Amino acid sequence: MVRLHRPLCHSLVALALLGAPGTCEECEADDHGQSDTLSVLQSRSGLSTGAISMSLVKKVRKTGAKGSKSHGHKMAYFGLVEVGTPRQGFSVVFDTGSGNLIVPGSDCTSRACEVHKRFSMRQSSTAKEVNCDGSDVGEGGDPDEITITFGTGSISGRCLQDQICLGSACSQGAFISASDESSHPFANFDFDGVLGLALPNMAQGSSFSMMERMSKGSSLRKPLFSVFLSDSDEETSEITFGKINRDHMASELFWVPVSGTVGYWEIMIEDITVDSERQGICEDCRVAVDTGTSQLAGPTPLVEKIEHILNVQSDCGNFHQLPELGFIIGEKVLSLSPSQYVEKGPGSCSLALMTLDVPPPNGPLFLFGIPFLQKYYSVYDHDKSQVGFAVAKHAGETPPQLLSLTDVREPGEGGQRRPKRSAQTSES
């Protein structure tokens, strides 16, 4: 038996933070508990239209010791994937920063598996074991296994092939069935597993890549998917395969080419702005757009510079005077307001930008997680290896303007802060 060892992609290092144990005072789900909500999640448009939309459930985990001022929250959005014949349902994070479907297996007896749903190979008439590159197991041979390590946690498992379904879209694909999961962090997750939607290079093989299978099967109108995340209980978050939903856009959509080769949805940052003024601190910066990360993260030296420039007071004394923090990407400025880059607790404030040092050649790297993706509607074009952004249209909110380079001042030019104008939607 061959055992493969593979470091998990760095986004899942950040994903582990979703369930960081600390102390959880309160966990909240939208409207229903997890099992009740997922039982009614359905695709809202079938593949007869060449597109399929899946509703996502938001889960918030408040962290911090009781009575402490250092409160925070970790957030995840997850949906339903079904595996096997008959189908077995699992709640999964649709993760643009990893490449494989990973769910607990019935042979896993660790606590992290037992508190979640587990896939039973015996109960599926279409399941079979495969090697962890997707190849068939030779006659009389033993299939290999895989161990994925990251941070303080690890997963070990075997690779299986079976029917994998997103609503009415089904295909034969390979996935990892975990036979062992470390308690930290997996026992603390509010979802069962992860469905990787990174580019194919990050998957174990082409049969492990959901988008690779769906694109080759010609079941989608376009080989892309789009993500709309809302922080409000009044609207539904969703992931859509095969089309761009312009109902979620409050500005024109612009495209940025993927710059890396590892498999991340990785793009270039030209510079960082503060109230539309260039800071000249970001040369050759890169960012991975990561739906599986609850926060924002960046290299330690740059995070320290940003922290110094913004000067967020720990007692929140200057919160209402804090500037917009922007990132120049593809001749546009994607900015975050103080409410999006500051973590507020009872009487305390801190910069919600984690330090994450990804070593070369994959780093240094920023991660744009949920706070960024709540503000910007994002589209991931599998065929052209590009990412699209538009200001997200949220119910009851006046959307901010999508700024261009003409709105940016050079260092030292001064000038007053620009007024926050409403965005205009451009149909194309």
List active site positions.
95, 290
Helix (H, G, I), strand (E, B) or coil at 48: helix
Pairing of strands 285-289, 277-278: unpaired
Residue (of 201, 135, 185, 262) closest to 16 by Cα position = 185
- C-beta atoms surrounding 361 within 10 Å: 8
Q: Helix H segments across 243-369? A: 300-310, 338-341
Count CA atoms within 13 Å of residue 190 on its CB side: 27
d(CA 224, CA 228): 14
d(CA 324, CA 369): 18
Q: Which amino acid is at 172?
A: Q
Residue (of 95, 90, 136, 146) closest to 116 by Cα position = 90
Residue 211 corresponds to which tokens in the numbers above?
């988008």
Helix (H, G, I), strand (E, B) or coil at 232: coil
d(CA 373, CA 375): 5
Rg (CA), the chain: 21
Answer whether 52's CB lies under 8 Å from 221's CB. Answer: no
- CB within 8 A of 184, min separation 6: which ones? 21, 152, 153
Q: What are the φ/ψ torsions at residue 202 (nearest 5 degrees)? A: -90, -10
d(CA 175, CA 317): 50
